[in-house]
Structure 1
Amino acid sequence: MSNLKDDFSGLRAMFVNCTLKRSPEQSHTQGLVDASAAIMSRHGVEVELVRAVDHDIATGVYLDMTEHGWEHDEWPLLFSRIIAADILVIAGPIWLGDNSSITKQVIERLYAGSSMTNASGQYVYYGKVGGAIITGNEDGIKHCASNILYSLQHIGYAIPPGADAGWIGEAGPGPSYLDPGSGGPDNEFTKRNTTFMTWNLMHLAAMFKAAGGFPVGGNQRTEWDAGARFDYEEHPNPEYR
């Protein structure tokens, strides 16, 4: 343990809980979010928790849907807070074997900002780290997590090893994570994966922070638009295939 980095002060993390339940109704997903967030807070990370369904988030794939016919849209404010975070964890429940509608909505709105660029000319989510937390009482943790993690990496987030954690009870109707007797909070597999995910998110985010972001080179949208091709051959010689 002597080589374990213990202080992650200066990092910011945002957990977006995509439960279908509005506050103050109990969210089982929040129970697992709290376990991960507690580790981060204990080691100096500034943590923010958001329950997306509590906010008036419009449906669409633009940054501000009030410019596209919607009367209200709280996403621009939430987006500014997400952009300020080094770590983003999308958390949510399984319904019908898939991510919740709120999870899908949040990912669609994240996608709306994916064409923006940072100060280095890279896509705006470069240098940020993403993870996923899933809960439910039906199968589908890996399916739901893979959808979230693919979506996050596609728009620019970096995904560390073991970037997902989850808990499911027995298939079919039954206790959820925080229900008495569920065994969820005491499940060794879930505790281990949640802990490893949390530390790996902090480690990678700290590496990017120390390096000043994701390495620049061959990945700048602004340079590509200006005509740079970064050694891409328009017509590669088939002899070298």
Structure 2
Amino acid sequence: MSDQLKKITASHCETPPAKYDDIKVLFLNCTLNRTPVLSHTEGLIKVAQNIFEANGAKTKVIRPVDYVIPAGLGLDMSKTPEWDKDDWPLIQKEVDACDVLIVCTSVWLGEKSSVCNRTLERMYGYTHQFNDKGQYRDYGKVGATLITGNEDGVKHCAMNILFSLSHIGYTVPPQADAGWMGEAGPGPSYMDEGSGGLENDFTNRNTTFLVWNCLHLARMLKDNGGVPAYGNLPDEWEAGCKAGFDSPEHKR
């Protein structure tokens, strides 16, 4: 974090509009590099992480690539004939426990990483389950994304990731994406010496806005019991209680 950003963060954190010490933030760092190999994406994650923690939020970073995550949409693929082991249920528990989920990735060939794609697919496999109000399970959670690379593709990846999160029930705040792209081609990566990544004002501004908007929205959702359970309950729809639509027996 640059000295300028540290000063701005310290100033904002002195008089926050609310308390956030009950907010849990999970970063899924979908880098291709297993721990302890350097992840440039994790460098940007730390910028956001520092601001979250300065406001009392609890944060955790997981690299899915460190785990055995089979392809598939089952809750536990180790219970199928195709796979002997599946670590995804361990990660899903962390996803379920968080209030804010930030899916992070590097860019390859203009796309999010293969690890990111598999992560979203496995999350999608859980969407037939409901929360305690009868909504799809991820209603009431906040979703965002952080992206790094040295080729074009931040906005393309962000569109895909944020749509995916919104589609399965996450609420996406304004300015829910931030990223850093170095010089196109085989140029420096985010944390390389001389890259300018850590001092990039555009990236630092967007990352800061992302954190605060996630905190604001998570606070509103948590204080109001999430998204109201009206007009969005799958079981009621299947039973014929279709809010806003006439019941079939009333049609003439």
TM range (shorter): over 0.9
Paired residue secondary structure (2:26): strand
Shift of 1:48: 1.0
CA 184–124 in structure 1, closer or farther in 2 if over 3 Å, else same: same
Shift of 1:231: 2.1
Q: Contact (CA 8 Å) 2:241, 2:247: kept in 1 or not?
A: no
Out of 86, 90, 100, the position equivalent to 2:99 is: 86
2:193 maps to amino acid: P
Determine the structure 2 residue equivalent to 1:168: 181
Q: Contact (CA 8 Å) 1:6, 1:43: kept in 2 or not?
A: no
Shift of 1:226: 2.5
1:95 aligns with 2:108: yes
1:86 maps to amino acid: D
Shift of 1:58: 1.2
Q: Give the TM-score taking structure 1 as reference length.
A: 0.94
Distance 1:11 1:27 in 2: 25
Q: Provide Cα deviations, 1:129-166, integer angstroms capped at 9, x if missing partner.
A: 00000000001100001100000000000000000000
Q: Give the TM-score taking structure 2 as reference length.
A: 0.90
Determine the structure 2 residue equivalent to 1:192: 205
Paired residue secondary structure (2:115): helix
Shift of 1:234: 7.2
- Name the % identity: 48
1:62 aligns with 2:74: yes
1:127 aligns with 2:174: no
Paired residue secondary structure (2:146): strand
Shift of 1:6: 4.8
Kindly report the root-mean-square deviation, in angstroms, between the aligned alpha carbons of the 2 structures. Answer: 1.4
Determine the structure 1 residue equivalent to 2:37: 25
Deviates more, 1:21-30 or 1:226-235: 226-235
Structure 2: unaligned runs, 5 residues or longer: 1-11
Structure 1: unaligned runs, 5 residues or longer: 236-241
Runs of 4+ residues deviating >6 angstroms: none
Question: How many pairs were matched up?
Answer: 235
Shift of 1:225: 2.5
Distance 1:16 1:139 in 2: 21
Paired residue secondary structure (1:76): helix
Distance 1:115 1:6 in 2: 34
